[in-house]
Amino acid sequence: MKMPTARQRRLRTILFWAVPAILLLVPLGTNAYTQFIVNGMLISTLVTLGFTIVIGNLGQLAFANTAFFGIGAYGSAILAAKLGVPWLLTIPIAGVFGAAGGFLASAAALRGIRSYYLAIITLAFGELMRWSYLHAKPLTGGTDGLPMPRETLFGTSLTDDTVKFYVFLVVTVLLVKATANLLASRFGRAVMAVRENEVATASLAIPTSRVILVTFIWSGFVVGCAGALFARHIGHVFPESFGMLHLIASFAMVLVGGLGSVLGAVLGAVMLTALPEYLRAFPGMEELFFGLIVAAVLVALPMGLASLLRRLSPIFVERFYREAR
Amino acid sequence: MSDLLIVEGLSVRFSGLTALEDVSFRLNRGEVRAVIGPNGAGKSTLFNAISGYVTPTSGTVHLNGEPLTVLTPHAIAERGIRRTFQNGGLFPALTVLENVLTGLHAQTEGTFFDILFGRRKALDSEAANIARARDLLKLMSMEHMADTPAGDLSGGQQRIVEIVRTVASDPPVLLLDEPAVGLSPVARDQMMDIIRRLAGEKGVGILLIEHAVELVMAVADKILVMAAGKRIAQGTPDEIRQDRAVLEAYLGHA
């Protein structure tokens, strides 16, 4: 495998910070509508990132991702609407709630429930959470959902998508960077080692149970934070936002971007958030085209868009991800 | 010379079936002890019981006087008993260098939060380990393969990388499960040389399961012969060659 040279690695680090720096200028070129879409991309990036580390890097068929997302969104909305906690403060708290969800999901994996069985039990967890949002009416508002309270940030109303954008961008960049640090370390290697051969991993003095537990918790934290962003993004949380449709959309983002790749999480989220907007030009055919394009990408690039970039230049070879084989 | 590894009365029973019965031996620093016996003799069960993958029904394992019998596999590995696997324990998707680095996991500094925030301490320790892993690969003339996915290596190269990975942390005891299986004669000689050097130069106590009789006779100081879960003989290669019980049970021509 062609690895990046020292110079390419430096370039990669510069790129990592240059891209968000350039993104600071995005609001100059957007209108209210496109800004809303861009904000959605940032949230999807985090949702995809949290998902991909569990199914790609750790190799566990766990589909509790939408549950983490809903827990984060409702956690944030309940804190803000019922207890008057400033929204900004609810972001890390929602992350902790999501992490608690991750802890629950890992408990199943650690009790030896794996593969298809883990898939079905985590899907059930997601549906149970959705059922809870519907029925815990005093807290969640049931089918009516829960509106986010009006708030101002630095003197600007938090209904303004440009203000939201800057907060979302900072949160996203910090969480992507932290996740990249994690995956590029001995921890990230241990995560992939568990995927490749769990028995052999333990023989190298690596506590495999802890590796699985921490991966789920971190995944839950990232996606829980994304939930808090989402609550502010749409301004009103409804149970329907956290159903199978969201899970399948996130799964598609993971695969289109490239399983287990941080770069892929960003690419998949951006592409599949933007695509439906472009397809509005073909009324009645949107879903068909969407499906065809996703299928075409996966046939042409089974390891996703990130694998295309990796082929173009070793700069895009991540220190922390190797395709399963 | 004090004993490095002491195995006493080790037995493993799986619901009625006795896989290992009352096996005892001692392993010294720098000693190579081979474990031989026909299929189903309990050799792999012995390895699994020592390394914590199977809980012994009775008996004890001590490393430098510390009891290991109640510990999990990763805790036993951390105490200094490292092993290889019969079917190969490499991570095929990871590069050769990354495979060796997993062997240094417990030797890497930095907590979860040091890593998360990209603190100097964690990064420096990682860099030091990368340098060490490259040196080890150089010793085995494998440095040109550092960035190759381990799954792309030949069988012989994979066995060598697996050994590099297990010895990276300088463990006092090494359990090698059929390291020469499927190797060409040249690679087999190289493997013998590696085993001798680990024991002779680094003083590693090595427990070796191997079917290749000539390799065992050439590198082992002592041989433990097993059949049906029991130790049927123990001695130097010369003694074992002349042991009647061994000839009957193992070689099959009395």
Q: Which of B87, B99, B102, B207 to mutate to test the interface with A (most CBs of A within 10 A)?
A: B102
Domain assignments of chain A as residue spans, ordered by start: 32-316
CB contact under 8 A, A196 and B77: no
Query: Strand, helix or coil at A135?
Result: helix
pLDDT of residue A325: 64
Mean pLDDT along residues B165-186: 93
User: Rounded to an integer, what distance in angstroms lies between the CA atom of residue B103 and that of residue B137?
Assistant: 13
Low-confidence ranges of chain A (pLDDT < 70): 1, 320, 325
A262 contact partners, CB below 8 Å, separation of at least 6: A49, A52, A176, A179, A180, A183, A318, A320, A321
Interface of A with B (CB under 8 A): 1-3, 177-178, 181-182, 185-187, 189-190, 192-193, 195-197, 199-208, 214, 322-325
Distance, in angstroms, between A35 CA and closest chain B CA?
30
Q: Which residues of B touch A1 (CB under 8 A)?
A: 95, 147-149
| Nearest-Cα residue of chain B relative to residue A195 | B91
Mean pLDDT of chain B, nearest integer: 92
**How large a percentage of chain B has pLDDT more than 90?**
81
Nearest CB to B74; choose among A207, A324, A325: A207
| Interface touch B83/A203, C-beta < 8 Å | yes
For chain B, domain boundaries: 30-41+52-80+171-242, 90-168
Give the per-residue pLDDT at B254.
43
Q: How far is B15 from chain A (nearest CA, A)?
A: 21
Q: Dihedral sign, CA of A92, A98, A104, A107? A: negative
Flag if B149 and A325 touch (Cβ within 8 Å). Answer: yes
Task: Give the pLDDT of residue A1.
Answer: 64
Structure confidence by residue, pLDDT tens digits, B112-170: 999 999 999 999 999 999 999 999 999 988 999 999 999 999 999 999 999 999 999 99
Instruction: Mark yes or no for CB contact B105/A199 under 8 Å.
Output: no
Residue B250 scores a pLDDT above 80: no
**B48-106 pLDDT tens trace:** 999 999 999 999 999 999 999 889 999 999 999 999 999 889 999 999 999 999 999 99
Give the CATH architecture of domain A32-316: Orthogonal Bundle (1.10)
The whole-number pLDDT of residue B66 equals 95
pTM attached to this predicted model: 0.95
- The answer regarding whether domain B30-41+52-80+171-242 maps to CATH 3.40.50.300 reads yes
A325 interaction partners in chain B (CB closer than 8 Å): 92-93, 149, 151
Do B93 and A196 count as a contact with CB atoms less than 8 A apart?
Answer: yes
- Using an 8 Å CB-CB cutoff, list chain A residues near B115: 181-182, 185-187
Please name which of A124, A107, A102, A117 lies closest in space to residue A227, comparing C-alpha atoms: A102
